[in-house]
Amino acid sequence: MTRKRDDGLEVGALSGAQVLVLAGLDPSGGAGLFADGGAIVAAGARPLLCATALTYQSTRRVHGWHRVDPAAVEAQVLALLDDEPGIRAVKIGMLAGAADVVARMRRRPELRDASWVIDPVLASSSGAPLVDGGAGAYDGLLDGVVVTPNAAEAAALSGLPSPMNEDELLRCAEAIVARGAAAVIAKGGHLAAEPTDWVVTADGAVRLPGERRPRSRRGTGCRMASFLAARLAQGDAVPDAATAAKAFVAAYLDEGEA
């Protein structure tokens, strides 16, 4: 099936709900927008991808990055909103300098009913900072959204010490929910024990046990949050979407190279 745009071009009609993504462009393809798009398609939805930053990186490390002007980020979003009705989820990855843009997006009527997922990317795997203002950039952005921090990010957003075990990770997640997040999927992959995640809402916590893989690959956080957003866009409850996203990442690790 195809549909015809206002300019007369025919566009293939992809099945599934639409997920709007704001994230950085990783030219190596290991993380960022490329990873987001692939995960969303794998989950059965259609990605709409907007760049917040251009990164200079290889498969090994981030050498630097250049923020896309916030006005240009907003223009990307507005162009899509003009032509793509029915966006069911929004996923925010590398925020760079677009915090004010995201705050304005939250107030747009076209996105009022969308599920929002924020992956608070504070630094790359090699330690390079990836957001203007650090954790403070997320002040005011977490109300009513699903947040997917790793252990270090959970500590930074909660104001608690960096968790050393799954119980401490749970406390960080509970503190972020207390700040207004609708749900937190706190990821335990960086802890020393098995990679247990926690799904925490105001109604309680669900433990998601995991098995550590011998392989390590870049972009797991991007893929997990984007797959999650795509499943939420298709009507999954948060625990079900989180469970499916964790399984998707595990399969990604299993098929990768050491």
For 74-84, what is the mean pLDDT? 94
CA–CA separation, 20 and 18 (whole Å):
7
Residue 183 predicted with pLDDT over 80 = yes
pLDDT confidence of 57, banded at 50, 70, 90?
Answer: confident
Q: Which residues of 197-215 are buried (b: 16+ CB within 10 A; e: fewer)?
A: bbbbbeeeebebebeebee
Residue 6 predicted with pLDDT over 50 = no
pLDDT confidence of 258, banded at 50, 70, 90?
Answer: very low
Q: Which residue has the tokens 């954790």?
A: 135
For 200-213, what is the mean pLDDT? 90
Its pTM stands at: 0.90
What are the tens digits of pLDDT across the range 139-166?
A: 999 999 999 999 999 999 999 999 999 9
Q: How far is CA 84 from CA 12, 17, 57, 76, 237, in A?
A: 13, 11, 31, 12, 24
For 203-215, what is the mean pLDDT? 86
Residue 60 predicted with pLDDT over 80 = no
CATH 3.40.1190.20 correct for 12-255? yes
- In a 10 Å sphere around its CB, with 0-12 CB exposed, 13-18 middle and 19+ buried, how is residue 228 labelled? buried
Per-residue pLDDT at 256:
60
For 76-91, what is the mean pLDDT? 93
Q: What does DSSP assign to residue 129?
A: B
